[in-house]
Amino acid sequence: MPKSARVPSAEEAPARAKREAILEAAVREIAGKGVRGFRVEKVAADAGVSPPLLYYHFADRHGLIRAALAHAGERAPSSALRAGVAGANAYEAIGSALAAEFSDEPGVRDNAVVWGEVAASAVFDPELREEAHRVMAAWRSEVAGTIEAGVAEGSIREDVDAEAAAEILVSLVDGLCTRLLSGDLDEARARELLRTALAQQLAPGREPAAAGSA
């Protein structure tokens, strides 16, 4: 279960609000211009803070980009899995959370662009690599934990390898999001492919699809 968030004191609340505004502006800036076009001064202006105040919260440009990625990850639709599966079984909860990643709603789209941009930049920029790995590992862990809950309740096949299935599913959704953002795929087809993968990997009474199978 997730830990209860500590309520900020009256003194802390304004600083928290400014930090949140900076992160939201950073996500929009990356989503609009990519990592290469990312300008700290524009983020500060959009957040309504001075550059010195921004650097009080984030040490440098890389630190702000890493924090924006973490912020996007915390707000991605799949993060709903952290709250458990109230009102749905685990199989349904995984399908709903992952399918929600395929959306043209601005906030969801911005989060997906930030992930794609930072992950691509991390290939060449070691300073972004660790955070990209951490965010992906957290996503896999959330899915794997829900798969294990589904095995326990009986909505997911009992012989499933939760870690492997989670790796397959998040890799699929990651790739489908990239194609969706580039216009190579539409939302309906992405959801159809996800449903097929979920059935193959998790549905009771089905054998898991072998890697590389047609």
- Residue-range domain boundaries for the chain: 62-202
Each residue's pLDDT, cut to its tens digit, for the chain (214 residues) gives 334 445 455 456 778 899 999 999 999 999 999 999 999 999 999 999 999 999 999 999 999 999 999 999 999 998 888 876 667 899 999 999 999 999 989 999 999 999 999 999 999 999 999 999 999 999 999 999 999 999 999 999 999 999 999 999 999 999 999 999 999 999 999 999 999 999 999 998 766 555 454 4
**Three-state secondary structure readout of the chain:** CCCCCCCCCCCHHHHHHHHHHHHHHHHHHHHHHCCCCCCHHHHHHHHCCCHHHHHHHCCCHHHHHHHHHHHHHHHCHHHHHHHCCCCCCHHHHHHHHHHCCCCCCHHHHHHHHHHHHHHHHHCCCHHHHHHHHHHHHHHHHHHHHHHHHHHHHCCCCCCCCHHHHHHHHHHHHHHHHHHHHHCCCCHHHHHHHHHHHHHHHHCCCCCCCCCCCC
Predicted TM-score of the model (pTM): 0.84
pLDDT of 99:
96
Confidence at residue 11, expressed as pLDDT on a 0 to 100 scale: 53
CATH 1.10.357.10 fits 62-202, yes or no: yes
pLDDT for the residue 5: 46
